[in-house]
Amino acid sequence: MAKKKSVGKTPVNVKLQQLEEHKESGLDEFLSTNQGLKINDNQNSLKAGERGATLLEDFILREKITHFDHERIPERIVHARGSAAHGIFELYESMSQFTRAGFLQKKGTVTPVFVRFSTVAGSRGSTDLARDVRGFAVKFYTEEGNYDLVGNNMPVFFIQDAMKFPDLVHAVKPEPHHEMPQAASAHDTFWDFISLMPESMHMIMWAMSDRAIPRSLRMMEGFGVHTFRFVNASNQAFFVKFHWKPLLGIHSVAWDEAQKISGKDPDFHRRDLWEAIEAGAFPEWELGVQIIPEKDEHKFEFDLLDPTKLIPEELVPVKIIGKMTLNRNPDNFFAETEQVAFHPGHLVPGIDFTNDPLLQGRLFSYTDTQLSRLGSPNFHEIPINRPVAPLHNNQRDGHMRQMINKGEVSYHPNSIGNGCPFQAKAAEGGFVSYNERIDARKVRARSRSFFDHFSQATLFFNSQSEPEKNHIIDALRFELGKVERPAIRERMLGLLTQVDRTLAAKVAEGLGIPVPKVPEMPLNHSIPADGDPKKFQPTKVKSSIERSEALSMANTIKNTIKSRQIAFLIADGVDASAIDIMRSSLEAGGARVKLIAPRLGSVKSTKGDIAVDMSFLTATSVVFDAIYIPGGKGSVEKLAAEADAVHFVNEAYRHCKAIATAEDATAFLDVTAVVQDEAVITNGNAKAFINAIAKHRLWEREKGRKVPA
């Protein structure tokens, strides 16, 4: 037998060894690019001055985001799970004083829109009711081209610079070694990242609030997040923030309820939106803007370019300028909802960017990710993405090209084609970037005006009602209670002391650990390699206002029951008149009623058989807004003996919902845990019941004993 040759250190074997070493964890190594270049600053993109535009030459940023954008196919890396609808936007009044955008010029102008709502962290198959930010993206099909307002249901974000976006999403996604947990932030990697990024604390207050578990996509606000620019016909610029305000008000579910809905009906939000539109209960939002003259750019205690900050409405009121109505469901989910491509860089004349470093990174990222996800530079030719404005340019060919271009010319300038297509002057609708002065050195840095990480987090917490504050405390206890590493929990408590010491103490009590006497200053972990830690500590800025009513959901609209889902619990012997009277009153107010019984089919009533919509096996209280128990001795006795009916009511009571009975049905409540309060109506009074439903929830009920459900 021939002797086995020694392998030795040949170039091939060295290369194989290097490839094998790529499986190593990367511990105790320097950060580097994919070409092996060591990175000095992984925190800031390269800008023209601290507050300047991000530079295209930033090859480190482009490599990092390009790799991130192409990590998964074909679903979106973030915002994978979405629901969408068609509609219209109607302008209330001309905005020509501030912008030359065509669709904002003439009162009454109607513009078609397509809107996609989404969760951020989960995959396409995840639950609608995860605690998460919700995407709120609107595509306006204007006569000047498509304009995309791509935002969220929260007005701020976790990070200040796009350089950190891949890190944020990697941290919140399922942990890579076992791909758990799905669509949840309650795990070590997310909170490890957050505990080392104090700039996230304002957004954490929003994410731990009830805004992260909305009752319906139709009942949440939308925001552009960034500060943009309006530019008028005189080339005068204004800073602008965008707000979508729902006409149904802003409402949430209880956390216990959200978890149960995820098991009972993970498509809850998708189903709710679809059924509301099919029933003609069209969702509506008013568009509002906060407009700031250029001369006032630096008059606030925060930086307008900082995406972790909002402008309190007490400082700059929101001006309502129009209304959006969603009135048609998609015909095909994949062709429309899944293939729609949004981009914050899809602009029209009169709307422009600012140097917000998170927005600047998005302007690169969105095109790049569409190329990966939709597989072609011709994604604009997919029907849902096509503009209604005429399209003429010299772009040709490419994968899945659909437009058939005629003629010899595909370049500019040319004489063969008589110079067509022509460049358009500004007066002819040509887009002209705002003439902002730039005079700065190339730096990887962040403006000192971005260093206040806590004052608006404190403002948000102070602005909440007592129930909302308690929900934030419970959310933090839950999330951090899932964190296994004590050091991460301790760092988070240290950050919470900078927001509110009472908040930190109550969270610490739930975790069974003390509040750190001297909080760790985590920003030291997130500075350039050559950075001076003393120069990167958060600054303390006193807010000019202590509370903002607009930040609390307690101050939202509570005067309608439109599209609310009401469960009627019935059994054989039910009083048909009681059903008819209450049903007609509720439906007159726009609510929808479902009859639920121990079995499907029908039940016998005082007026004959009544068809049943759902049984207790297929129905669950968590997808309804309120419960009514009609009279009829036989029906009441059968329901009282039905464990599922008792559980149904107990659970709704625990989740602070309105409950009503007919006068002769109050005996049913004797076998439940329900205690009389202002949201428990026992005399069959329809008006009182409607008022209780319109208030959404009686959150004060949570102060009492916890009802087992």
Q: Report d(CA 32, CA 390) in Å as an integer.
A: 45
Q: Report d(CA 425, CA 28) in Å as an integer.
A: 56
| Burial of 170 from C-beta contacts in 10 A (0-12 / 13-18 / 19+) | middle
Q: Report d(CA 212, CA 210) in Å as an integer.
A: 5
Residue with tokens 């939002």: 285
Name the DSSP letter for residue 338.
I
Q: Report d(CA 709, CA 556) in Å as an integer.
A: 28
Residue type for 328, please?
R
The count of C-alpha atoms lying within 13 angstroms of the C-alpha of 448, restricted to the half-sphere facing its C-beta, is 5
Q: Report d(CA 12, CA 18) in Å as an integer.
A: 10
C-alpha 224 chain-centroid distance: 11
Annotated catalytic residue, options 79, 343, 471, 655: 79
Other Cβ atoms closer than 10 A to 275? 14
Helix locations, 381-500, DSSP H: 455-462, 466-481, 486-499
Q: Report d(CA 688, CA 699) in Å as an integer.
A: 18
Shortest CA distance to 293 belongs to which of 226, 231, 238, 241? 238
Annotated catalytic residue, options 44, 86, 146, 152: 152
- Structure-token pair, residue 270: 């998708």
- Structure-token pair, residue 306: 């900082």
- Sheet with 614-615, strands from edge to edge, namely 614-615, 592-597, 565-569, 626-629, 658-661, 680-681
Residues 6+ apart with CB under 8 A from 76: 82, 118, 369, 373
Q: Does 269 participate in catalysis according to the annotation? A: no
- Whether omega for the bond prior to residue 174 falls within 30 degrees of 0, making it cis, is no
The residues that bridge with 46 in the sheet, in sequence order, are: 444
Residue type for 308, please?
T
Shortest CA distance to 553 belongs to which of 615, 465, 488, 641? 465
Q: Is residue 527 classed as helix, strand or coil in its secondary structure? A: coil
Q: Does 79 participate in catalysis according to the annotation? A: yes
Q: Report d(CA 137, CA 150) in Å as an integer.
A: 4
| Burial of 611 from C-beta contacts in 10 A (0-12 / 13-18 / 19+) | exposed
Q: Which residues are catalytic?
A: 79, 152
